[in-house]
């Protein structure tokens, strides 16, 4: 087995193990967070206060409700975010960027599975407000919309940043931050999530992306590539060149 094949095997193993470890570690973390939310008075008052104020602000304004629903379901909705990541994966496969495509697909899939697992373990009820303006099925913690937006925007950023001129690289970060913060605001304003649900979704999404990104960086080190920073993207070599490394000489 040559050096490249061994690096590929180590990369795949790290990606699977890291994703599984993230899923396991997320459950006690989420449970601890929910226990704090349910027993610690200041956080409970924050959740209830924010939900009440935003609910009163949109109550009686159906136009605002329609705008919030459009952004939360169409612009920043999970389906939109997943389709964007799926299109990115197809594009990477067409460029023969196999490992980067695997990382993007694995990160998006792991994020969805971890979020679903934690929801069903915690089983936290959604807010019950007088005269609700919106409804959502399932459990509340963490916010699936917030987590999907976080993982999807991070994947898009880390893959596509090398294609953005250096002078414009602040713009994608601003758009990603606006999307992640915006979807969180819409979920609380519509009364279908607590603030702590949204924060939990953000934190869990960041944890998943961080874990899989470290696995990708480990593979880069195995094949002799320099380490990168978030500002450079995961694969700076994606610009104008074959993103896959050349095969190394066989190991003796």
SS3 label, residue 139: coil
Inter-CA distances, 21 with 7, 18, 177, 197, Å: 21, 5, 27, 22
Domains delineated in the chain: 3-238 (1.20.144)
Q: Rounded to an integer, what distance in angstroms lies between the CA atom of residue 228 and that of residue 76? A: 28
Q: Rounded to an integer, what distance in angstroms lies between the CA atom of residue 133 and that of residue 146? A: 19
Give the model confidence (pLDDT) of 42-96 as tens digits: 777 888 788 778 887 877 778 888 898 899 889 998 999 999 999 999 999 998 8
Token match 């993230």: residue? 22
Side-chain-side CA neighbours of residue 138 (13 Å)? 16
Give the model confidence (pLDDT) of 210-235 as tens digits: 888 877 877 777 666 777 777 777 78
Q: What share of the chain is helix, strand, coil (3-state, %, to 5)?
A: 75, 0, 25
Q: Rounded to an integer, what distance in angstroms lies between the CA atom of residue 163 and that of residue 237? A: 10
């Amino acid at each position: 087995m040559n050096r490249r094949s061994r690096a590929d095997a180590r990369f795949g193993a790290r990606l699977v193990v890291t994703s599984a470890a993230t899923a396991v570690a997320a459950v006690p973390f989420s449970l601890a967070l929910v226990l704090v939310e349910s027993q610690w008075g200041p956080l409970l008052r924050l959740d209830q206060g924010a939900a009440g104020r935003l609910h009163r602000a949109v109550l009686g304004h159906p136009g605002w409700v329609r705008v919030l629903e459009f952004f939360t379901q169409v612009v920043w909705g999970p389906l939109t975010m997943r389709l964007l990541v799926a299109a990115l994966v197809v594009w990477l496969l067409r460029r023969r960027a196999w490992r980067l495509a695997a990382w993007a697909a694995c990160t998006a899939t792991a994020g969805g599975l971890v979020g679903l697992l934690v929801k069903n373990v915690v089983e936290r009820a959604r807010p019950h407000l007088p005269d609700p303006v919106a409804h959502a099925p399932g459990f509340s913690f963490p916010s699936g919309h917030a987590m999907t937006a976080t993982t999807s925007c991070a994947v898009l950023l880390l893959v596509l940043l090398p294609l953005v001129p250096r002078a414009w690289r602040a713009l994608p970060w601003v758009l990603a931050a606006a999307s992640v913060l915006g979807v969180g605001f819409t979920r609380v304003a519509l009364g279908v999530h607590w603030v702590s649900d949204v924060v939990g979704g953000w934190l869990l999404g960041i944890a998943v992306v961080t874990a899989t990104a470290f696995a990708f960086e480990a593979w880069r080190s195995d094949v002799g590539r320099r380490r990168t920073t978030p500002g450079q993207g995961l694969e700076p070599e994606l610009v104008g060149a074959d993103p896959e490394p050349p095969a190394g000489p066989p190991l003796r």
